[in-house]
Structure 1
Amino acid sequence: MAIANAFFTAAFAPPRSAFPDAGSDAADQQFTLSKLCFPLHRGISRPGTATFLRKKVAVSCTIDGVESSSLSQARDSSLVPTPIVQIIQDPESDATAVELSFGDRLGALIDTMKSLNDLGLDVKKGFVTTEGTVKRTKFLITRLATGRRVEDPDLLERIRLTIINNLIKYHPESSERLAMGEVFGIKAPEKKPDVDVATHIHVKNEGNKRSMLYVETADRSGLLMEIIKIMADINIDVESAEIDTEGLIAKDTFYVSYRGAALNDSLSQVLVNCLRYYLRRPETDEDSY
């Protein structure tokens, strides 16, 4: 099955409304990344053109690889917010949307954008919005080689892990709230979620052409690739997806089909059983099935 060709190519995608139009606030200010201190577009002569909208303009710099904004913040673990990383595919857009929030602790994320650029990605523009005490940053990214959104699930997983690794590096207190913190952080999570308890899988038909698959489980490295491989093994095509990491939990939504149609009850049950079996057994060797 040509899963790579079918991945993220549908004419539909889940609607997103998490980010209000920051431009509607007269107090918002704008600045462009061309005024910052590193080139976003390596090998391209034009300056970076990413535009940010935010309530307060506060640019942080890096000193010996550490953002100045993170140096001055208190490290009260009882107040550490939940890190959230979302990767959203919208077939009506040529770009992949990446959204990141960590309370109000995020700096300018210059190093994160540079790391995405090193993956062969172009950060087209960004928005910063504030909802209460939570600051959310949204990037629109494309592949430098094609100028289009990312469709390779392996690269999407690398994007997710790159953002999480940078979050742990520049905000070390986040490590206790992330699954990756057990390996890369200064402080591992005190209590990891039980995989059996944390795993929830649902399939719902969205008309005759596609079905919505929702997977919630304990986060771990390579999780997206495991889910995609399981679906590929039973010839299910993935048309679009929203990949969310909320602290220690992954909450992923996939729009899927089988031979151009929604999944019937029997195939839906097979998919749920396969995912539940393998996601609840993270130690299972890939070759064992």
Structure 2
Amino acid sequence: MFEKFEETDDEFAKLLRRINPPRVVIDNDSCGDATVIQVDSVNKHGILLHVVQVLTDLNLVIKKAYISSDGGWFMDVFNVIDRDGEKIRDPELISYIQKRLESDEDLVPSFKGMVGLMPTEEHTCIELTGTDRPGLLSEVCAVLADLHCNLLNAEIWTHNARAAAVVLVTDDTTGYAIEDPNRLATIKEMLCNVLKGNSDINTARMTLSPPGVTHRERRLHQIMFADRDYENIERSEGGGVHDKSSRPHVIVADCTEKDYTVITMRSKDRPKLLFDIVCTLTDMQYVIFHGVVHTGRMEAYQEYYIRHVDGVPISSEAERERVMQCLEAAVERRGSEGLQLELCAKDRVGLLSDITRIFRENSLCIKRAEISTKGGIARDTFYVTDVSGCPVDPKTVDSICRQIGQGILHVKWNSNSSPKPQQEKTISFLLGSFFKARTFRH
């Protein structure tokens, strides 16, 4: 019975979408330092995430955002720039954004090979979860190399002593996906043995992504959320990369006047921050009805008015605490820690295994990694600390560069300092006037 109602609602939503198709306006004139993208559409759960995901996958930086979706209609305005801080001028890119946001997401091909959405028919997509420890990625890469798996792309996150990865591999002989059930069972057994180590017998796991389309970064959020990485653990006090001053500040409060829950956030600004927050709230089954995002020179300020998908605001202290923990985790998972090492080299089977082994032998701990291969060239980015979580000794970096080869490994230091937190206050003024007026002015 309920399935029939859901199907009816879905068909009705499709009819409304055909009658009132989304309209996207991209304006380079009204704002002096950013491109303004306005999206008007019939509202449906997940549409905000879809829009933010499209912009984020194109490596666009969202500097400001205004969100409104009351009354069954969705209207968002985004001020965006590219990674160089410039407006979007490429006509091909502008056309792609319009087509992607005005069409069903599965009907528009990826732009110039962007890898946000990845079909899994041409490769095997492996998802890994386990307890983080120094050398874990090196051991995983060594196992894959021994099993004749060519690692094409991967992203690895660590947070609260947990590690998660989404890894794309092919058979190193055929270049295609690995489909033999016996071989897949062997890969699973070997990887699980590595992930379990000596202390993670119950929670370490390796799974295959289902056929179809998988958004890698969203899956990483879902994997770590399912692994309950947001639950607080005792943090080190002695010189670790993370400290309290750099952690996000989240307040969850009631807005009884309009029957919403209001979330206010302040954190260090970084790329893809808005995607991480919207992704987390959407997967936790919350709907953002109104919101505003503003990024300053170093900090990002966000405010959202939300309800659960059943229309009810947060009603218990336990749920409020859980939302705060989950949003803090969403910000921290992708937080760039320590030293950034960028590798650019001709790809070969076992390359990543060799590189990560050198890191391990020099007592480096990989906190996050982005692995990609295109046109026979491996382009990998690693964020590393020493085994105690402290910054890496420059002498160690010099030694690693000599072992790997000059010109192959590039070092980019990411400062761990963060702006001094402002005095305790909320940012309710950003949307407070909205509820006092009949219209929302940008």
TM-score greater than 0.5 by the shorter chain? no
Could you tell me the TM-score, scaled by structure 1's length? 0.37
Could you tell me the TM-score, scaled by structure 2's length? 0.26
